Chain A
């Protein structure tokens, strides 16, 4: 079975309906039409461009280009993690910790899944490597951003509690233990929810795509399970590394809470 081709004019029909939705919200003065249209336009431009990039990448099939693409994705994700935090660690630490955590977890899990489990030839074959890394990075990014935001914001709000616990002679790991647990939880919750709801409440996007492309549902399910586990591993280890490094950075070598290392929230 072949995928039914989509023509641009058919997409234009869908686009017209989005414009119609924007028109409705504008008529009702709900004030969402502008951002809705801008987001829709960004989707078209960004996906159109990435389509061109992927076609070139698939045609070349060279390790160097795959690595460059992966690095670009990582840096953009690192920037995004930084931007999503209200009170981030200053001096490049927010970007550094987020990016390093995502690099360690997403890249390792992707390479492992490619070489040990899926085994395409060559192992970096872009049709497998890039979408796999993309899904891993996207989810790890969300987990790391949520966890770091929760960590720094809670530490700011509960600084009096942390310091009182330090005064009672608790080591810094104990004094911030509750906040670390909360941060881990908010980083991992989206993925745990997604796994719990998969197939019951929602049909995962990748599986849907494969089925649309003609893959037998049994195989699509296997791929989806593999992806879910890979994403959970990536998100879990990434969040773990980010929370460990981030909470360490909140204290100095004399175990003092150093909130002066957080940047003021932008308004």
Chain B
């Protein structure tokens, strides 16, 4: 079990966003919303160091720029809205076979590892991408609309599984979401992009 750390953005600037600072405690989920084109995905890409950006990102005491970039990305794992699959079968993309309970929670059987990638639906790809990323043993998660291609029932199921994993592993998480109800269900804190700034919003009070 890795010791969990705070994920902290310090004056991050990319695209139209400037001077974004926030801190996500271990096990907390900060939801990020905003109109399309407002820079949600690019902000996640900056945190994962996939694009040149201003400012610094910290994972506990470790600065983003102090680690080799691939080592940083292995810790601060970005799961994109649209996942990519380059080999023939699903199993070739996973570093280790996932636990049976995780497979079952996402609605798969063990034989999914032998499935051909070309026959996956977009929803299956999305769920398997989450499984693939979480199997890399990250220390923080950046989720870009992780349930965008899923129907209502599957969304609830995947959401519940994700939240349970996040709490158990104490990962700090930034979660891009559109759906207000989903934000109300999962978020500890909600940031809304307003021009070049992030504005904090009330998360529904019943939580």
Whether the Cβ atoms of A163 and B50 lie closer than 8 Å is yes
Q: How many angstroms from the CA of A169 to the CA of B70 in the assembled complex? A: 5
Known: A254-B49, A256-B49. A169 touches B71 (CB 8 A): yes
Whether the Cβ atoms of B69 and A256 lie closer than 8 Å is yes
Whether the Cβ atoms of A169 and B52 lie closer than 8 Å is no
Q: How many angstroms from the CA of A257 to the CA of B69 in the assembled complex? A: 12
Choose from B50, B65, B68 the contact partner of A167 (Cβ within 8 Å): B50
Q: How many angstroms from the CA of A158 to the CA of B87 in the assembled complex? A: 13
Q: Is A170 an interface residue (CB 8 A)?
A: yes
Could you list which residues of chain B lie within 8 angstroms of chain A, going by C-beta atoms?
48-52, 65, 68-71, 73-75, 77-80, 82-84, 86, 132-133, 136
Q: Is A56 an interface residue (CB 8 A)?
A: no
A255 / chain B contacts, CB cutoff of 8 Å: 68-70
Complex interface residues of chain A between 106 and 165 (CB less than 8 A to chain B): 158, 160-161, 163-165
Which of A158, A164, A168 has the most B CB atoms < 10 Å from its CB? A168
Given A160-B84, A257-B50, 8 other A-B residues pairs in contact with their CB atoms under 8 A = A158-B86, A166-B70, A167-B50, A168-B132, A169-B77, A170-B70, A178-B86, A254-B52
Q: How many angstroms from the CA of A178 to the CA of B70 in the assembled complex? A: 18
Question: Quick one: closest B residue to A164, CB to CB?
Answer: B84
Known: A160-B82, A167-B80. A256 touches B52 (CB 8 A): yes
Q: How many angstroms from the CA of A166 to the CA of B51 in the assembled complex? A: 12
Known: A160-B82, A163-B50. A169 touches B68 (CB 8 A): no
Known: A255-B68, A255-B70. A165 touches B86 (CB 8 A): yes
Question: Quick one: closest B residue to A175, CB to CB?
Answer: B70
Task: State which size class the interface on A falls in.
Answer: 10 to 19
Whether the Cβ atoms of A161 and B86 lie closer than 8 Å is yes
The 10 A-B residue pairs whose C-beta atoms are closest, nearest first, are A169-B74, A164-B84, A255-B69, A254-B69, A161-B84, A171-B70, A167-B78, A169-B73, A161-B86, A160-B84
A164 / chain B contacts, CB cutoff of 8 Å: 80, 83-84
Q: How many angstroms from the CA of A168 to the CA of B87 in the assembled complex? A: 15
Q: How many angstroms from the CA of A169 to the CA of B73 in the assembled complex? A: 5
Choose from B51, B65, B71, B77 the contact partner of A168 (Cβ within 8 Å): B77
Q: Closest Cβ of chain B: how far from A162's Cβ, in Å?
A: 9
Question: Quick one: closest B residue to A260, CB to CB?
Answer: B52
Whether the Cβ atoms of A168 and B49 lie closer than 8 Å is no
Known: A160-B84, A161-B84, A167-B78. A172 touches B70 (CB 8 A): yes
Q: Can you pick out 22 interface pairs between chain A and chain B where the beta carbons lie within 8 Å of each other?
A: A160-B82, A161-B86, A163-B50, A163-B80, A164-B83, A164-B84, A165-B86, A166-B50, A166-B69, A167-B78, A167-B80, A167-B133, A168-B77, A168-B132, A169-B74, A178-B86, A254-B69, A255-B69, A256-B49, A256-B50, A256-B51, A257-B50
